[in-house]
Structure 1
Amino acid sequence: MPDGRPFTADCHVRLGVQLIAHTWDAVVLTRLRDGPARRRELLRDVGGVSDKVLHESLARLCAHGLVEAVPDRAGFRLTGLGTSLAHGPVLELARWAEEHAAELDAAAAS
């Protein structure tokens, strides 16, 4: 507790983690960093996600103000808030995971 406050259920760390806590949310944000995409494109590009789970992920990301529907394209894009998350913490988390992939794999195997 660097500032003397306890880590509570409503702390900022928990708020931030909740934004990407679902398996596919960070992956969808990462894909949308490349630009807007239709749902069919997201299904193709985000390997392994089902249509139902993608729908739930997009609904959650929209509800948090990270993604918005693009009416003229019938697709989705990052909002300013989503862009800052996708190009900031999510990108850094991906870099960290890539850097430590061997260690993480070894720990999981033991």
Structure 2
Amino acid sequence: MDELDARPALETVRDFLGANVADAENFDEIRADQLQLAQVSTRAIRRDLAALEALLADPPSSPGSLARLVGWEGNWVLDDPSDAAAAQFLRDLATVLRNVLDEASRTGHP
């Protein structure tokens, strides 16, 4: 677990997008999957949220990096394929994870 927590934010977000976003139809499906995970443990959700926040606070400097991350790893087609739109998408995902953690804490899940 410590090794997973020590991974760079970009790698953690890449894995999160590939595992939890790439096959999802919409944000409601992502939320439902994360809520199901939260019934067992919130550790991975907290790690993914921290990685999203870190990546958004210090995004890659190469133009198009966030857009490629969302498009390729997340398999998500944005109406606006810019880094700004991709950053908003990632902020929206972070909000979903925050809401899941809030709900999990209210219902007494770990």
User: Is the shorter-chain TM-score for this pair beyond 0.5, marking a shared fold?
Assistant: no
Task: Kindly indicate whether structure 1 or structure 2 has the higher relative contact order, using CA contacts under 8 Å at least 6 residues apart.
Answer: 2
Higher strand share: 1
Greater Rg over alpha carbons, structure: 1
Higher helix share: 2
- TM-score normalised by length of structure 2: 0.31
